[in-house]
Every structure is written in structure tokens, then in C-alpha cells.
Amino acid sequence: MKLKNITLFAVFLFSMGTLASAQNGPSANDYLKAADDLYKKAKQDDAIANYEKAAQGFENSGNIERFVYSYNQIGVILTRQDKYEKARTYLDKALKAGLDSLGPNDLTVASTFLALGVVYSAEGEYERSLASHKKALEIRLAKLGKFDSNVATSYGNIGNVHLRNKDYDTAIEAHKLAMEIRAKVFGEKGPEIVESYRGLGNAYRDKKEYKLSLEYFEKALVNKVAQLGPGHKDLARFYRYISEVHSLAGNRSKADEYRLKAEQVEK
């Protein structure tokens, strides 16, 4: 074989080996699975790095739904780290890609709207937050029907924004809708309904209707005790909710009783 042909053949083998190596490396789906696992383990920065690699792979392959999902997850993590501006950068890109490729009625796009709603609420932009949450809700109602857990989540988020904006009656209305759905989907003893009880407890507390606030916080506590057992440390926050409401209502002895219960389970 002539030297020129040998050289060309060697280059060809090298190229094929490089291609095979690339094909045998982690795929976008591999990075996504790793990111989801790291997120569950609260390794947020490592999760973000893997979501970034997954998103790049999905964008290159034209899998826009998973690209949007990956950027949504990065936005959610950054929001939990109080990095709101950075979170919006990812979520805005996810929203544009989703609307352009998946359309305005896609459930993944609904998740982007919801994530943006959470960011806007945290930044005190309540009108923008409600607009985003209502878009998410509209899509979910159309695609999933009323009695779906994702619809309940949207109502709960809307309730939380109204509560932050001190619109207590509208907050209560939204949390009751979420509670109704969760009771039907999961049952009144399901763990998911606790979020509705807590939202209603907060709304009635801030509205200074302490009896109703205690009613819902106590329902939440009963539910959590049934889930976790009477001595679990996660019960402490529910004891503290009840203690705070008793204190606001001027019932010092009851406030102290529940405060001590919180301290006992935290030991």
C-alpha cells in the first residue's frame, strides 16, 4: 500500500474511532437521568450542570420538549437558590422554545408558565405572577380536566400569590378549589391535601380569623401524624403554626403548649 493511501486509511480509522467514542459517551437522556437523580438528592449545582448538558444535547437533536423540561428544572433550582434573575433567563428561553415548537397549549409549556409565576411572586410582581399561573392553569384544565393533581397545584400557587398580595378572600377561594381536587384525587387523608390545609390556615391567620386558621392547621397536623408517627421531627413546623395562631389569638397557655411540643420533637 502506498504511503499516501496508508496515511488516508489511518486518518479514516482515527475519525471512525472518534465518532464511535462520541457515540458511546453519555447521551442527553443519560445526563437528564443523572440530573433528576442529583436533584432528588438535593445536589443542586451538580444537577444544574447535568441539566445544562442534557439541554444542549436535546437542542442539537431537535427534542424541544426535553430541552424545555431541562431548562424548566434549572429555573426551578435557581429560584430555590433565590437567584431570580438567572432563573428567569432560563425560563424565558424555555418559554420561547416551547411556544415556537410545541405551541401554546402544551403541558411542558404550562410548567414553564408555572415556574415563571413562582419567580415573579418571589420578586413581588404579583400581577405578572398571577398572569403566568393563570396561563398554566388554562392549559392544564384544557388538557387534563378539573380533577387532576397538576390543576390543584396551579390553584394552590394562585392562592399563595393572592395571599402574598393580601387578597385573602381570593386566596381562600383558590385554596379551597385545590383542596376539593386533592380530596377527590387522593382522598382527604392523602398527604397531598396538607398543602391545601396549610394554605387555608395561613390565609385565615392573616385575615385574623383564628378559629378557622386553627381548624385547618389542626387538620394538617392530624394528617402528618398519621403519615409520619407522633414523634417525627417534621411535625415541629405544624406545632409552630398552631402555636403562632394561639399566640395571635391571645391564648398564651395554648401557644406555649404547642411551642413545647415543637421543641420536644426537634430534639
pLDDT of 17 above 60: no
| Structure-model confidence comparison of residues 222 and 1, the more confident one | 222
Domain span including residue 64: 26-143
Report the number of distinct structural domains present in the chain: 1
Going by C-alpha positions, the residue among 156, 198, 185, 186 that lies closest to residue 173 is 156
Mean pLDDT, all residues of the chain: 92
In a domain, 131, yes or no: yes
Which pLDDT does position 11 carry in this prediction? 42
**Cβ proximity of 72 and 108 under 8 Å:** yes
In a domain, 126, yes or no: yes
Q: What is the pLDDT of residues 167-222, one digit of tens each?
A: 999 999 999 999 999 999 999 889 999 999 999 999 999 999 999 999 999 999 99
If pLDDT is split at 50, 70 and 90, which confidence band does 24 have?
A: low
How many angstroms separate the CA atoms of 237 and 224, rounded? 11
In a domain, 232, yes or no: no
Residue 96, domain CATH:
1.25.40.10
Mean pLDDT lowest among 8-17, 25-34, 193-202: 8-17
CB burial of 109-148 (b: ≥16 within 10 Å; e: otherwise) equals bbbbbbbbbbbbbeeebbebbbebbbbbbebbbeeeeeeb
| Structure-model confidence comparison of residues 208 and 18, the more confident one | 208
In a domain, 225, yes or no: no
Which pLDDT does position 12 carry in this prediction? 44
What would the mean pLDDT of 52-74 be, rounded to a whole number?
A: 97
Q: What is the pLDDT of residues 138-163, one digit of tens each?
A: 999 999 999 999 999 999 999 999 99
Mean pLDDT lowest among 11-20, 33-42, 242-251: 11-20
In a domain, 242, yes or no: no
Q: What is the pLDDT of residues 219-241, one digit of tens each?
A: 999 999 999 999 899 999 999 99
* Residue 151 in grid coordinates: 390543576
If pLDDT is split at 50, 70 and 90, which confidence band does 13 have?
A: very low
Q: How far apart are the first and last CA of the chain?
A: 80
Angle subtended by helix axes 44-61 and 28-40, to nearest 10? 160
* Model pTM score: 0.87
In a domain, 179, yes or no: no
In a domain, 259, yes or no: no
What would the mean pLDDT of 61-79 be, rounded to a whole number?
A: 97
In a domain, 128, yes or no: yes
* Residue 70 in grid coordinates: 431541562
pLDDT of 10 above 50: no
Which pLDDT does position 191 carry in this prediction? 92
Which pLDDT does position 207 carry in this prediction? 97
